[in-house]
Amino acid sequence: MIRSPRLPLYITIATFILAFAICVSQYPAMLSTRVVANLLTDNAFLGIAAAGMTFVIISGGIDLSVGSVIAFTGVFLAVVMRDFPVHPLVAFAMVLAITISFGAAMGAIIHYLEMPPFIVTLAGMFLMRGLAYVMSTDSVPVTHDFYNTLQGIYWKAPGGGRFRMIGGLMILTYVVAMIVLHRTKFGQNVYAIGGSPVTAKLMGVPIAKTTIGIYAVSGGLAGLAGIVYSLYTSAGYSLATVGVELDAIAAVVIGGTLLSGGSGFVAGTFFGILIMGLIQTYIVFDGSLSSWWTKIVIGGLLFAFIMLQKGLSWATTMRRKPAAEFATRS
């Protein structure tokens, strides 16, 4: 099992189960469908954004614009529905078109101008946050009957937990993302570029198309996360979701994806999100711990997983050394 490339994924899942067991042993009330349902509902927007981030990070890039895109989407939906008589579904389609083309544009700049993704998406982050400010600096409420209908959809599990639509949407996103990443040519190209862009190019991977596609996926999923956030809060606020990109990156790393690219799993990110949500739930249950412990614990977890990845890659190179020696000798 130690040789399996899925080892980081197993460790993440084991960490989640262990953390949940510790929580339950201290607060038996946490073992209820209510807690699980809220874990999914409260982290739905972050989870969807992190799924897109997984694509970007596996390809060796980074997308800092996610939080701003979510805020922009929320404000855009609220303002458009306030000022024009459009149906929410039309507004959803409009905003997804904007965010997907925004992501694709960033991907194009990264590829064609050969700029580091870090600085290009940083500019994108400023741009989207700025556009959200320009549309409205106040929190704009959304009052549309269709929103109430969507928010009213839930499945009541035994034990009182309400599995809402947005939680289901997150799980659906992960299922689709897993299929795309592991079962399609596009997914294989993403891994190839992350492993080594030069090798990928020599192998005939369409670098331009794939890079643009990756950032379009991230932009589109950030837009979807924005729609979910808008449904979750029923409002659009330009100062919302500041720093969500960092939470998303943290979830991806905790999920066992290498930040240098080329290796990782969407399923790991899902458990990364659940671990981060669990820490917050634990702090709420405890009542005496302050909220800043969340950041410190997440920082500690990040460090632990980075060290784990270092240890694993070190162990792999150690094991390969005799083989390499043999090859050079003969």
Partner 1 sequence: MISATLKRVAPQLVILAVVLLMNFAVFPGFFHIEFQNGRLFGNLIDVLNRGAPVALLSIGMTLVIATKGIDLSVGAVMAIAGAVAAAVVTGGGGWLTALLAAIAAGLLCGAWNGILVAILRVQPIVATLVLMVAGRGIAQLITEGKIMTFLNPGLIHLGAGTVAGIPTPILIWIAAGIIVTAIVRGTALGMLIESIGINETASRLAGINSRALLIAVYLISGLGAAIAGVIVAADIKGADANNAGLWMELDAILAVVIGGNSLLGGRFSIVASLIGALIIQSVNSVILLSGMPPEFNLVIKALIIIVILVIQSPRIKHTLYLLRASAGPAPRETTLHDTDPVAKESRP
**Per CB under 8 A, which region of 4-12, 123-131, 140-148, 216-224 contacts partner 1?**
123-131
- The whole-angstrom separation of Cα 152 and Cα 156 is 11
Q: How far apart are the C-alpha atoms of 118 and 250, rounded to whole Å?
A: 16
Residue nearer to partner 1 on the CB measure, 89 or 307: 307
Residues between 227 and 266 with contacts to partner 1, criterion CB under 8 A = 246, 249-250, 253, 259-260
Q: Quick one: CA torsion of 272, 307, 265, 284, rounded to 10 degrees?
A: 0
Q: Which helix (H) or strand (E) holds 83?
A: helix 66-83
Nearest-Å Rg of the Cα atoms of the chain is: 21
- Residue 50 contacts partner 1 per CB under 8 A: no
Q: With CA atoms as reference, report the closest residue to 265 among 213, 194, 169.
A: 194
Nearest to 224 by CA among 174, 293, 288: 174
**CB-based contact 234:141 (threshold 8 Å):** yes
Pick between residue 109 and residue 267 the one whose CB is nearest to partner 1: 109
Q: Which of 14, 97, 208, 296 binds partner 1 (CB under 8 A)?
A: 296
Rule CB under 8 A: say whether 307 interacts with partner 1: yes
Q: Which of 26, 303, 315, 325 binds partner 1 (CB under 8 A)?
A: 303
Decide if residue 292 touches partner 1 (CB under 8 A): yes
Interface segment toward partner 1; rule CB under 8 A; list 8-16, 184-192, 281-289, 306-314: 306-314
Tokens 């997907």 sit at which residue?
A: 100
Q: Is 293 among the residues that bind partner 1 (CB under 8 A)?
A: yes
Give the pairing of strands 154-156 and 162-164: antiparallel
Does 116 sit near partner 1 (CB under 8 A)?
Answer: yes
Q: According to the binding rule CB under 8 A, does residue 129 interact with partner 1?
A: yes
Among 248, 234, 291, CA closest to 88: 234
The footprint of partner 1 (CB under 8 A) covers 62, 109, 112-116, 118-120, 122-127, 129-131, 133-134, 137, 246, 249-250, 253, 259-260, 290-296, 298-300, 302-303, 306-307, 310
